[in-house]
């Protein structure tokens, strides 16, 4: 079957309708929960036998993302399909789009799948990014602008949570890292002095209407998000600028769905886009407990053709990522009863049976009337779980 033009907006799918999901990870699990709470049924297509989303969906098609028979079965059952991670093959989205609603579109996802395409798109859209250069060969490194060093060499595709990245001081170090990465396409990005990192999660419907969540402030450890604070401790000018840029990016992509834009904040309060995630994001998990409408419910609303929900934040929030390291430190199951002795702590576990160092196993959100109060609770929980910042 050849891919045709994407089907138009579903125009309000009634409860009981089937929604499709490509990917079976924790983001998909939380999507399933949001969809089911609105009365929808979910069919997950994922190759894993026991995935977090597949284990709770009404139906699980265990197949490769390019399995044509499985894609056709998904499209035959579901009126709308979405994704829970950005590396779903574009061919799969194109095939589905010939028969059902697909959001986000393959063209939008393809840009975010490749750092070179992403940075080129941002440059052409007059969106500020850190100075960078594409690295496709050793010659590109020999001719690179010396001003880009010291820098960070990043693989163009499939890099996440700090993987596929190397901090480099010299051309020789960049050449060695390029070789270590297998000489796959990369970008060399100038390393900048950052004040902090923030992100904006925006939802955009088929009609172009948008709703942006309060900007979150993010702390990373070893390249993995460790903590998000919302609202971010930045000026209203920075928060408004981040939301405005995220909205511009969504419009420029003609994006339909939930999109996260990660930013660097520099000492002069200027903002640079770090990267785009065409899906709900770890830094938006606080919306489940602290906002009227979570980012996952918003994803359901968009693909079902429903009005966007309110993004109003009713309490301050601090989210802690729970990695497999916590299980390792506890020598087994962590002491959740001690954690939940804090009445304002909300625990979300992803149903993964094997805890490994660096693996995302769940998250905790502390909701409080002030960030100071949330921070005090977070410090005690981190101590009890032997977490490090």
**Last-in-domain residue among 190, 215, 236:** 190
- 303-356, pLDDT tens digit by residue? 999 999 999 999 999 999 999 999 999 999 999 999 999 999 999 999 999 999
What does the pLDDT average to over 100-117?
92
pLDDT of res. 160: 64
In a domain, 249, yes or no: yes
My answer on whether 220 and 328 are in the same domain is yes
| Partner residues linked to 261 by β-bridges | 200, 276
Distance CA 226, CA 61 (A): 32
My answer on whether 168 and 266 are in the same domain is no
My answer on whether 355 and 313 are in the same domain is yes
pLDDT at 295 exceeding the cut of 60: yes
**Last-in-domain residue among 84, 102, 120:** 102
My answer on whether 71 and 27 are in the same domain is yes
Q: Are 48 and 62 in contact (CB under 8 A)?
A: yes
Residue 49 sits in a domain of what CATH number?
3.40.50.20
High-pLDDT (> 90) share of the chain, %:
89
In a domain, 239, yes or no: yes
Q: Could you tell me whether strands 80-83 and 101-102 are parallel, antiparallel, or unpaired per DSSP bridges?
A: parallel
In a domain, 3, yes or no: no
pLDDT of res. 162: 59
What does the pLDDT average to over 115-128?
96
My answer on whether 323 and 203 are in the same domain is yes
pLDDT of res. 1: 29
- 196-210, pLDDT tens digit by residue? 999 999 999 999 999
In a domain, 122, yes or no: no
My answer on whether 213 and 167 are in the same domain is no
pLDDT of res. 163: 74
My answer on whether 185 and 198 are in the same domain is no
Half-sphere CA count of 172, side-chain side, radius 13 A: 0
- 147-187, pLDDT tens digit by residue? 999 999 999 997 665 578 999 999 999 999 999 999 999 99
- What's the total number of domains in the chain? 3
CA dihedral 277, 280, 286, 287 (to 10 degrees): 130
The stretches of the chain forming alpha helices (DSSP H) are 26-37, 68-77, 90-97, 106-112, 115-124, 138-142, 171-180, 236-253, 287-290, 295-303, 324-330, 336-339, 371-385
My answer on whether 159 and 231 are in the same domain is no
What does the pLDDT average to over 130-136?
97
High-pLDDT (> 70) share of the chain, %:
96
pLDDT of res. 92: 94
pLDDT of res. 11: 72
pLDDT of res. 158: 76
Distance CA 60, CA 42 (A): 9
Residue 179 sits in a domain of what CATH number?
3.30.1490.20
Nearest to 232 by CA among 159, 305, 157, 284: 284
Residues ≥6 apart with Cβ < 8 Å to 179: none
pLDDT band (50, 70, 90) for residue 12: confident
Structure tokens given for 80: 């709308």
Distance CA 93, CA 101 (A): 10
- 231-264, pLDDT tens digit by residue? 999 999 999 999 999 999 999 999 999 999 999 9
My answer on whether 163 and 97 are in the same domain is no
Domain residues for the domain of 135 are 131-190
pLDDT of res. 6: 40
Residues ≥6 apart with Cβ < 8 Å to 330: 385, 386
My answer on whether 179 and 289 are in the same domain is no
First to last CA, the chain: 50
My answer on whether 218 and 317 are in the same domain is yes
In a domain, 230, yes or no: yes
My answer on whether 182 and 198 are in the same domain is no
In a domain, 108, yes or no: no
In a domain, 5, yes or no: no
In a domain, 114, yes or no: no
Q: Number of H helices and number of E strands within the chain? A: 13, 18
């Amino acid at each position: 079957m050849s891919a045709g033009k994407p089907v138009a907006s579903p125009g309000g799918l009634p409860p009981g309708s089937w929604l499709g999901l490509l990917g079976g990870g924790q983001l998909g699990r939380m999507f399933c929960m949001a969809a089911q709470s609105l009365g929808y049924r979910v069919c997950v297509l994922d190759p894993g036998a026991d995935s977090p989303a597949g284990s709770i969906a009404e139906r699980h098609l265990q197949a490769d993302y390019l399995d044509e028979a499985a894609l056709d079965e998904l499209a035959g059952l579901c009126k709308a399909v979405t994704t829970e991670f950005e590396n779903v093959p574009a061919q799969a989205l194109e095939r589905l789009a010939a028969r059902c609603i697909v959001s986000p579109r393959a063209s939008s996802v393809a840009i975010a799948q490749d750092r070179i395409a992403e940075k080129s798109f941002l440059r052409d859209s007059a969106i500020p990014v850190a100075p960078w250069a594409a690295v496709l060969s050793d010659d590109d490194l020999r001719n690179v602008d010396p001003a880009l060093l010291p820098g960070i060499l990043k693989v163009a595709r499939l890099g996440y949570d700090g993987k596929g990245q190397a901090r480099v001081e010299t051309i020789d170090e960049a050449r060695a890292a390029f070789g270590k990465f297998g000489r796959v396409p990369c970008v060399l990005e100038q390393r900048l002095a950052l004040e902090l990192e923030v992100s904006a999660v925006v939802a955009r419907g088929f009609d172009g209407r948008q709703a942006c969540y309060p900007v979150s402030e993010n702390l990373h450890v070893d390249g993995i998000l460790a903590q998000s604070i919302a609202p971010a401790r930045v000026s209203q000018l920075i928060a408004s600028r981040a939301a405005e840029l995220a909205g511009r990016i969504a419009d420029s992509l003609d994006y339909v769905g939930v999109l996260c834009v990660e930013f660097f904040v520099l000492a002069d309060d200027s903002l640079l886009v770090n990267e785009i995630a065409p899906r709900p994001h770890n830094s938006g998990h606080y919306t489940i407990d602290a906002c009227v409408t979570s980012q996952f419910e918003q994803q359901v609303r968009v693909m079902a053709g429903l009005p966007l929900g309110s993004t109003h934040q009713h309490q301050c929030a601090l989210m802690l990522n729970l990695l497999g390291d916590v299980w390792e430190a506890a020598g087994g199951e962590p002491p959740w009863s001690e954690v939940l002795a804090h009445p304002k702590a909300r625990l979300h576990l992803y149903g993964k049976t094997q805890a490994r160092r660096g693996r995302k196993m769940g998250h905790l959100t502390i909701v409080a009337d002030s960030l100071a109060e949330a921070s005090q609770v977070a410090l005690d929980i981190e101590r009890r779980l032997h977490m490090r910042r």
